Structure 1
Amino acid sequence: MTEQQSTPRASGHVGNYVKGIIYRLVPSGGGQLNPRSRAQLAQLRRGVGKEPGSVPEIWDLTLDGLDGAGQGQAATPEENAVHIALTMFSVHQQAKPMLMHTSTPFGQAVRRLASTLESSSEDVHEGPVYRRFTQLATAASLDELTHHARALVTQMRSADVGFDYGRFADDLVAFQDPRRVSEVQRRWARDFHHLRSNGSAPSTDQPETTSSSVPPEGVSA
C-alpha cells in the first residue's frame, strides 16, 4: 500500500472547548498534576456512562461556557459530546505522566493499538480491537458507543496510545445527526487504514502545537 498524505483537520467549537479543558487539567508536556487537577479528573471518571449534567461536581468542566448548551430537558448533541469526550479522557489519563490527548486521529490510534496488541502474523481486521472498533462505529445509541469507547480507551491507556480528543468530540457531535453518521464512519475508517508504505501507521502520536492548546473563549486557563 502506498503512503498517503493527510491534512490535519481543525477542531470545531466543541473540540476547542474540550481541548481547552484538557489543557487546563494537564500540562501540554505532561508531568506531575497538581492536587486540584487530580481531583477533577477523578470527578470526571465518576461521570462515565452517566447523563450530561447529572454529576454536579463536573458542571464547571462540561457545561461552563459551552456554546451549544441547551435550554430544554434533554441534553444537546454538544453537551453529550463534551461529556463523553472529557469523561473518556479522564479514564485515559489516569495515572499517566504523559498527556494522552495528542494530534493522532481516533482511527489511527485504534490501528496503532491493534498493531501493538495483535501478533505480527495476525490480520488486524480479524482481531478483537478491530471488532470493538466496528461495534463502536455502528453503535445504535450513545450508551452503546460509550461502552465500546471505554473498552478501547482502557486498552489504549495500557498501551500508551493517545489520540485527539478535540476532533473526537466533534465527531461525536456529528455522529448524533443521522445525516452525518456515514461521514464519521468514513473518516474513522480512512484514518484506520491510513498507512505508510511499510504497513505502519504514520507516527503522529505527539502533543499539538502551543497555538492549539489555548483554551477557548469562556474557558479559564
Structure 2
Amino acid sequence: MTAPPGRSAPPPWHPRLAEKLREIGRDPGLAAACRRGRSTEPFTDFDMSSPLIYVLEGDETTEPGAYVPRWQREAVAVATHHVLALYACHIQSKDAGMHRYGVSLGTATRQLQAAMPSKDGAANRLRAALNSDTVSELAEHLRFLSSLMRTYAIAVDYISLADALACWEDPDQRTRLRMRWNMDFRRTPPKTPADPAAPQE
C-alpha cells in the first residue's frame, strides 16, 4: 500500500484489520463470535482470538513484531478487540458495510444528530465519549453510539477508530482526538444544491 505524498504509510495491521471487517460482513459465524466480544477482554474468548491473532501476528511463519511493534501490541490488541466487536454489532442485519474511510466519529455523530428526532441525543452521547478517561470507558460509550448509527444506517471509519482506541491512554493524543472529533461534529455540512424546479421566493 502506497501512502499519498506527504503522508506516512499506514501501519501493516491496518489492511489486515480492514480485511477482517470485510470478512465479518460475509461470515455470520465470525460476526457472532465478535459480537460476543462486547462483554469480554482480549484473548479470553476462544473464537474471537483467531481474528485478533490474524491482525496482530499473522501465522507461525510471520516474524514477531512484523505487523505490530511489541511495545504497542497490548494497546492495539485492546483496540482491535473493541473495534471487531463494535463493527459486528453495527453491521448486524445490514446488507451494506458500515465501515467508511475518512468518516470520523465526529462526522458520523453529526450525521446521526441530523437523522435523529431527539435534538441533542447524539450530541450528548458524543460528549460522554469525549469525556472518557480510559479505553474501556470510551468503548462503552462507543457501543451506544454504534447502536444508534446501526439504527440510522450511518457508517464510520473503523480503522481510524481503532487508532484512536490504541492511543487513548496517552493524554496528549487523547486531547488531540477530542479536539478533532469536536471540530468534525461542529463543522457545517456542505449545502445541497437548490432544486431548480423549486419555486423561487
Same fold (TM over 0.5): yes
Cα deviation for residue 50 of structure 1 reads: 1.7
Question: Residues 9 and 20 of structure 1: is their aligned pair in 2 closer, same or farther, counting only changes over 3 Å?
Answer: farther
TM-score (norm 2): 0.77
Question: Residues 146 and 163 of structure 1: is their aligned pair in 2 closer, same or farther, counting only changes over 3 Å?
Answer: same
Matches within 5 A, 1:69-148: 76-103=74-101, 104-118=103-117, 122=119, 127-148=120-141
- Aligned residue number for residue 176 of structure 1: 169
Whether the 8 Å contact between 2:24 and 2:88 is mirrored in structure 1 is no
- Aligned residue number for residue 158 of structure 1: 151
- Aligned residue number for residue 59 of structure 2: none
Number of residue pairs matched by the alignment: 174
Cα deviation for residue 63 of structure 1 reads: 2.2
Larger radius of gyration: 2
Question: Residues 189 and 170 of structure 1: is their aligned pair in 2 closer, same or farther, counting only changes over 3 Å?
Answer: same
Q: Secondary structure at the match of 1:107?
A: helix
- Aligned residue number for residue 63 of structure 1: 53
Whether the 8 Å contact between 2:16 and 2:54 is mirrored in structure 1 is no
Whether the 8 Å contact between 1:15 and 1:166 is mirrored in structure 2 is yes
Instruction: Provide the C-alpha distance between the structure 1 equivalents of 2:13 and 2:147, rounded to a whole number of angstroms.
Output: 23
Give the alignment's Cα RMSD to 1 decimal: 2.5
Q: Secondary structure at the match of 2:41?
A: coil
The equivalent position to 1:189 in structure 2, one of 177, 182, 192, is 182
Q: Which has the higher contact order (CA 8 A, sep 6+)?
A: 1
* Structure 1 stretch displaced more, 148-157 or 103-112: 103-112
Question: Which has the larger share of helix?
Answer: 2
